[in-house]
Structure 1
Amino acid sequence: MKQEKLPGALRRPNEYSSIGFIWLSAPIVILSISLLTSYAAEKTFDDAQDPRQLIQAMSESLRSLSYEGTFVTVSGSTVDTLKIIQINNGVAFNQQLVSLNGESREVFRNNELVTCIWPNSQSVITMKARERKSETGYDFKLNNNYEYKLLSDDRVAGRQTFVVEVTANDRERYSYRVWIDKETKLLLKSMSLEAGGLPVEQVMFTDIRFDHDITIDNVTDKLERLEYQVQNYVEPASVSYLTEKKVRFDLLPKGYRKISEMNHHMPTIAEPVRHIFLSDGIASISIYVQFGYKASEIIPVGYAKLGSITAYERRTDTDLITVMGDVPAQTVRAVAYSVNIEN
């Protein structure tokens, strides 16, 4: 699979705001996708040495802490370096991500809005921020697909860490190894592993600080100074044609379930695109369905891959289905062919 030969939806990001935003922003968004973005409820843990509880504490710290740091992502021969600033005072949430090598990119996120800036093309995309929430919080029943083991302590970015190995019980998901800061429970390093144990992708902080004087750029002031063209994506109004369509699944890979379903408006498409989010509690999969799709060009179906994110595109006679997630190739393909669209 070659990264440059992307499926149609991924090669036309202006027509697919959610897919295009993810792909064009990568590896910026890989921090939130690859670093085990499981769904955690706020809890107090009695035994910090229990690997499952460490994973749950780590998930909460990703959302609740304020910090500033630099991290690298390594996938094959590709290495990217990014800066992250996150401020969370319990009410307001602000985050800034900046690419430090390759194409210049910045992503700002707060409680209401996500803004992605590409200085090279002088373009800006904004969209409403969505908070992913589990109906039940972190569900250990979902995670019967993994085995958890606490390994020997280690150091990352000069800080002492717990090391937890999360081993998948089948080939429908990756295994992981994570390094969790002992003091704050923040995830400082993660490694996604194929079934044979080879690394798919690594993400690691090289430096990090938790000072109280952390500041973040004001995105509104920045956009006024830059005078870039801003493209806003807004939520669609209720569309009767779309609500009549139902997306069913004949047989999902073991352990995955639907977390949410919503419609996304795409600026060059008359009808919104359906987005369905699946998870097994650790791995996540997004399905985008464009109903009544009429291709203006011959678009190859098949795989695309970037780091641990794999995508697969499938066409029916009337619809275009794109599946992407931090899972192996056979899993996104199985999900794509399990989709059954009913009127």
Structure 2
Amino acid sequence: MISRKIFPLFSLFLLLVVSLQTAVAQELSRSTQSALGWLKKMAEAPRRHNYSGTFVYYADGHIETSRIVHKAGPTGEYEKIEVLDGLPRIVFRNNDEMQCYLPESKKIYTEKRWFRKFFPDILPLPLDNVDENYSVKEIGRERIADHECQVLSLTPRDSLRYGHKFWIDTATGVPVKVAVIDGNQIIEQFAFAQLEIDGDIPFSQLKPNQSLISGEWETTKLLTSILGEGELPWQVKSFPAGFRKLIEMKRNLTEKPVLVDHIAVSDGLATVSVFIEPISKDAPSPVPGFFTSRGAINIYVRTLNDNKITTVGEVPLETIKLIGDSVVKKD
């Protein structure tokens, strides 16, 4: 038995141990300023540098190869991404104006990009709240595609989001490889197999060639109407910790006969979209439940009265459901 004299000392010792453990845990969870600096450099670099190369996307046993050419200059950004596997798809971009060519069906879809999320330009600016939701650490250097890279890990502070790992070119900040991680498992990955940065890129490489645009093509303009705060008749009543609303829109999506209400949500890194559309009497009834498209993207569908609510995002199913179930119609 601990004597009365020893007990206060023993209690004080336990208190010091617990305090020390708490301080160490807090220190371990705090992102370093140099790591956050690398993250900021990575967010800015794809918009400021010329680059061209071939990258590979991998998820769920699926591999897809694409070729990219990107030019940055006084008039903004120009880009061409060509998918080299499966059905041909070619995307041309001038700043936020995009054109997607589908040569097999002779269709062109044009759209104004409302959010940046195409490898290697995958981080938003400004980088809000990232440190609140993820612990960012430098974990060494590796050579990827003949580029010396700084490796960063982003460990989520809860179960509501996935982890990430970035390999960043040390000279320019351009990401060379990106992995999305669920626990210890890589569920999605982009990686350059070949990459040249800051080379000269003529504008001829960034325009559709004559063979591509010959013949009759059907052009569809996908419109996005940005709305003011609270203009939609819908709201996400309760956000999961760390998430906030980015924007409200009305959009005409591919193959949709009516405009779709769209609410975009983010935690500063991951993005979730909520689409609300009336259920057509002539269409088959939607099937509520969970669906996984590929990699980090999960889908959750529910119905509310005569509306279909589809929640899509690069977050775990738990988070998708929390957001989707919080969507209500305003009184």
Please classify the TM superposition score into its range, dividing by the shorter chain length: 0.7 to 0.9
| 1:125 is aligned to 2:121 | no
Deviations 1:281-304 (A, max 9, x none): 111111111146546212212223
Equivalent positions of 1:272-311 (< 5 A) are: 272-291=259-278, 294=281, 296-302=283-289, 303-311=291-299
Against the structure 1 CA distance between its residues 88 and 314, is the aligned structure 2 distance closer, same or farther, given a 3 Å change threshold? same
For structure 1, the residue ranges without an aligned partner over 5 or more in a row are 1-47
Preserved CA contact (<8 Å) 2:286 2:308: no
Preserved CA contact (<8 Å) 2:243 2:267: yes
- Greater alpha carbon shift after TM alignment, 145-154 vs 107-116: 107-116
Preserved CA contact (<8 Å) 1:160 1:182: yes
Query: Which residue is equivalent to 2:249?
Result: 262
| 1:231 is aligned to 2:220 | yes
Matched-pair identity in %: 28
More strand per residue: 2
| 1:179 is aligned to 2:167 | yes
Equivalent positions of 1:129-208 (< 5 A) are: 129-131=113-115, 137-139=126-128, 141-194=129-182, 196-208=183-195
Against the structure 1 CA distance between its residues 135 and 86, is the aligned structure 2 distance closer, same or farther, given a 3 Å change threshold? closer
Preserved CA contact (<8 Å) 2:92 2:207: no
Task: Give the total of aligned pairs.
Answer: 290
Amino acid in the other structure paired with 2:105: S
Distance 1:94 1:251 in 2: 39
Deviations 1:20-55 (A, max 9, x none): xxxxxxxxxxxxxxxxxxxxxxxxxxxx98111101
1:253 to 200, 223, 240: 240
Amino acid in the other structure paired with 2:322: A
Query: Which residue is equivalent to 2:27?
Result: none
Distance 2:48 2:169 in 1: 14
Equivalent positions of 1:202-221 (< 5 A) are: 202-215=189-202, 216-219=205-208
TM-score by length of 1: 0.77
Runs (4+) of structure 1 exceeding 3 A deviation are 131-136, 219-224, 234-238, 266-271, 291-295
Against the structure 1 CA distance between its residues 112 and 244, is the aligned structure 2 distance closer, same or farther, given a 3 Å change threshold? closer
Amino acid in the other structure paired with 1:121: S
1:95 to 62, 74, 79: 79
Amino acid in the other structure paired with 1:254: A
Which protein has greater RCO, CA pairs closer than 8 Å, 6+ apart? Answer: 1
What secondary structure does 1:219 align onto? Answer: coil
RMSD (Å), alpha carbons: 2.7
What secondary structure does 2:320 align onto? Answer: helix
Preserved CA contact (<8 Å) 1:301 1:313: yes
For structure 2, the residue ranges without an aligned partner over 5 or more in a row are 1-31, 118-122
Against the structure 1 CA distance between its residues 52 and 160, is the aligned structure 2 distance closer, same or farther, given a 3 Å change threshold? same
Preserved CA contact (<8 Å) 1:143 1:280: no
Deviations 1:299-334 (A, max 9, x none): 212223212111112111121111111111221122
Distance 2:318 2:60 in 1: 20
